[in-house]
Amino acid sequence: MRLIIAEKPSLARAIADALPGSGKRQDGAIHCGDTTVTWCLGHLLEQAAPEAYDPADKQWRLDRLPIVPQQWKLMPRSKARGQLAVIRKLIKQASEVVHAGDPDREGQLLVQEVIDYMKYRGPVQRLLISDLNRPAVSRALASLRPNAEYHPLFQAAQARARADWLYGINLTRAWTLTGRQAGHDGVLSVGRVQTPVLGLIVRRDNAIRDFVPHPFYPLWVDLKVALGQLRAWWAPKEHQPLDDQGRLIDRRPADALAAQLPGASGQLTQLDQQEKRQAPPLPYSLSALQVDAARRHGLSAQVVLDICQRLYEQHKLITYPRSDCRYLPEEHLPLAQRSLSGACQNDQALQQWLKGADFSLRSKAWNDKQVGAHHAIAPSGKPADFSQLSATEGHVFRLIVRNVMAQFYRPLRTFEVKAEFTLLEEAFRARGQSILDPGWKPLFTTRDESPPLPTLTQGEACQALGAAVEEKETRPPEPFTDASLIKAMMNIGRYVDDPAVRRTLRDTDGLGTEATRAGIIETLVQRGYLVRKQKALRATKLGSALIAALPSAVSTPERTALWEQRLRAISEQQDNANTFQQALLDDLRGLLSHSDAARLRNSLQTAQGEAGGPVKRASKPRNRYSKKKANSKGSRKTPVQ
């Protein structure tokens, strides 16, 4: 008997539907001739709690840290024991096992750890499915690979899980116990991803709080040229009183120049005119979709992820959503017209977009070299029944279809002009844009970025009609929103001070993964470290106090981003999981030596004083390694990082 172990029931049903045989469901499995399909319920196993290694560690004590298991143990989740018993019975009868976890690092871990836990030693094949529709599943079933090929991916996932345990257990215990010494009665949770994310927000909030505005004074002049009029802006010379962004901070020179300008003659001294072509935006990765859905529809990252899971599993309208890739396989190109036609079938707006598509075009999105374990999110081709979709599900589905549809629209062609005029020996600059061919742009917006300028000729004369000085004020940085925070997590190198580290991170994964970013934000909210104020994400007093008390290395993104880089190297057999863990332990011991009750007490008091009220006690997070585990029925979520 061949046994296929899927990651979740919905995937198991899709596999069974594509297999020959009756597909009889019985006792936690679906029987299809000589093949049986069973499933996990997300993670069936979890890392054992510290007391499973030594009963003395049930009590939290500083002198017991760091806790380092010598032989790692996995424990069944409390509500997963029934399904584990089903798999155990079936795997004893199996002559071959097929691993059907999701096509990513966590999916590789989730099923393989169950196979290993059962001590199965027979042949194991790997089934990779990113689209739950029957034709796609049938193609995947015909393309099984040896599971051994994906062992490095499993090693990377396992290293991540163990490292998160070591980091989270030890630092959370250390700072919680230090917090008690400082007078704080509550758990202070620390994680290798969640804490740097909190640090980003705290530092942004501090920058907003400490921001001191100052005025600046732009000067404009309206110019008459041969074929019309335009407005140009003064570009002060460096000897003028300027801020670090080149803005004039003393009004007097601007007023003096504005008084002289009306009626003055000048000349167009520099003219840069060029046609530009802009390719359509690529199809979505999950994070890119979360950013756009937050901006356009005000949806949180977690809501977008939940919607995508329903569109994928329940409605079968899209391909695998937890993707970090924005490219599509070249073999999908010939099928695109059919899948987009199906996706657009029951929606008037999508039908209009479909009419404008030219399927003879090929964009840069179709590139096998850019596709890894999974490809960009795309419509599956199944017609959508919008009466069965919520309004927000419809919004997200249209975004996904739109970005794939855009690949069959012409590039946006614009004519851009930059002009510099000289009057009274001073430079005045103007810029404009005209659209030659809107291409894909109407699918995204009907707004022009900047108005066109009159037709200009190098060296032509100009005359000032009028001028004025405006008084403006610098503004503080914007608080983070779901959209800007996800984008920051994707591009974390921008928030790193060290130039060498920034260069290293430029082309690597960001903070967290596609599958975990939304959950990290929600966890910080649930634990009382963040609060949503309209669309803004702001740190609470407790969140600010914790960041102030921790060593900066714990709350800045360098470490966790470099972790992701090393984990990727392990998955590509360019690094070793044991050396990675040893480096982590050396780092961890150094961090534990910095737990300081006096520093924490001071930061808690400072946060209270600044905010004018008591620091709210953190709600105690569920022990993610305890036997009384919430949400163990079907959670695919990894332990909070």
Q: Which residues pair with 233 in a beta bridge?
A: 220, 429
Other beta carbons within 10 Å of 587: 14
DSSP lists the bridge partners of residue 437 as 413
* Backbone Cα Rg of the chain: 29
The tokens describing 52, both together, are 């499973």
Residue 558: how many CB atoms within 10 A of its CB? 20
Please pick, among 150, 167, 320, 495, the residue that the annotation labels catalytic. Answer: 320
Phi, psi dihedral angles at 266 (to 5 degrees): -155, -165
Please check whether residue 559 is in contact with residue 221, taking contact to mean a CB–CB distance below 8 angstroms: no
Tokens of 71: 């032989």
Q: Quick check: is 284 catalytic?
A: no
Residue 248, strand partner residues: 242
Distance CA 328, CA 404 (A): 9
Q: Which two tokens stand for residue 632?
A: 């163990």
End-to-end CA distance of the chain: 39
Pairing label, strands 35-39, 2-6: parallel
Q: What would the DSSP string read from start to end of 28-67? A: TEEEETTEEEEE--S-SEEEPPGGGT-GGGGS--GGGPSP
Quote the CA–CA distance of 215 and 207 in Å, as a whole number: 18
Instruction: Report the alpha-carbon distance of residue 369 to residue 356 in Å, rounded.
Output: 29
Selection from 330, 433, 316 nearest residue 383 by Cα: 316
Q: How far apart are CA 201 and CA 482, in angstroms?
A: 11
129, two tokens:
């499915």
**Rounded alpha-carbon distances, angstroms, from residue 461 to 223, 269, 458:** 10, 9, 9
State how far the Cα of 170 lies from the Cα of 621, in Å rounded to an integer.
15
List, by residue number, the catalytic residues.
320
